[in-house]
Amino acid sequence: MRQYLTYLRVEKGLRPLTCEAYQGDLALFAEYLEGAHGLPVTAGQRQVAGFLEHLQKHGVQSRSVARKLSCLRGFYKWLLLDKRIAHDPTVNLESPSSWKVLPKALAQSEVERMMEQAGTAAKHPQADGVALRDHAIVEMLYAGGVRVSELTGLGVADLSLAEGRMLVRGKGDRERIVPLGRIAVEALEAYVTRGRPGLAIRPGESRLFLSTRGAGLTRQWVWRLVKRLDGRASPHVMRHSCATHMVENGADLRTVQSLLGHADIATTQVYTHLALGRLKAVHRAHHPRATRRDAKPAAGTGGR
């Protein structure tokens, strides 16, 4: 297990707190197996399933159980790639549907009201840098589906507005290119050219979004901004709203995975039922036998 944790920390670049959580999950699994004189390396599907059932029976919340299963999937995938085992005992294990809770998302009309509210202040003839900044932030949260930590970590050099995109550094310091729509680009251009110069009072500050004191904004500040626009919203909800609305409008899960920066498609699969709903609608509209009814027999044939 130590070698696996070292791999996560060094090769995958996971944060210390994340590695500690994985270490705790693996230690709990090993402790469970000890009762049956088993070891994680030799455990089969029955032992893994029994461990998950054991957690549920002892009142562990579904999200926590799902996280432990995700940890075990990663562990056994590593063992398999390292040729320490011949079979992954988690490969055919499915999380109960109760674990796959769809993240809360706002309706498109609710997001539009938030954007309109922030946009109205930004379009005022006397709009200051703060109004332009706030408008750019909410547009970017929804347009790019970025995490709040990714947004606050953005630098001016990470923007490529002429190409309508930005460079985002996500979990594990993984980089990805995120496209931006026309409205978000326009809001960012207004902030960068007319808003940020008045806030950039600290020499050498490279971060994109600045406070009135010239320092980079904190995650807590961005949360408060979004809450002021809609009490039910948050940066996390904006991110899920972006993904939900894309899937509802026909985006495939792989595209959404790439946009959100999910390392594993399993994380994106919480939106599966939305994709299936879209698939069914397209099938009904275009498949020749989806709505076809057998023709009635012609008169006088008696159906023979």
Just list the catalytic residues: 147, 171, 236, 239, 262, 271
In the 8-state DSSP scheme, what is residue 216? B
Identity at 264, one-letter amino acid code: D
Cite the beta strand spans of the chain per DSSP E. Answer: 159-160, 165-169, 175-179
Sign of the torsion angle spanned by Cα atoms 251, 255, 257, 261: negative
Number of CB atoms found within 10 A of residue 262's CB = 17
| Burial class, 46, CB count within 10 angstroms (exposed 0-12 / middle 13-18 / buried 19+) | exposed
What CA–CA distances, in Å, run from 100 to 51, 198, 229? 19, 45, 29
- For residue 60, which of 97, 28, 88, 15 has the smallest C-alpha distance? 28
Number of H helices, E strands in the chain: 14, 3
Closest CA to 225 of 148, 293, 280: 148
Measure Cα distances from 265 to 70, 187, 253 in Å. 12, 31, 8
Q: What is residue 192's DSSP assignment?
A: I
Q: Could you give the count of Cα atoms lying within 13 Å of 174 in the half-sphere of its Cβ? A: 17
Cβ atoms 133, 195 nearer than 8 A:
yes
3-class state of residue 204 by DSSP: coil
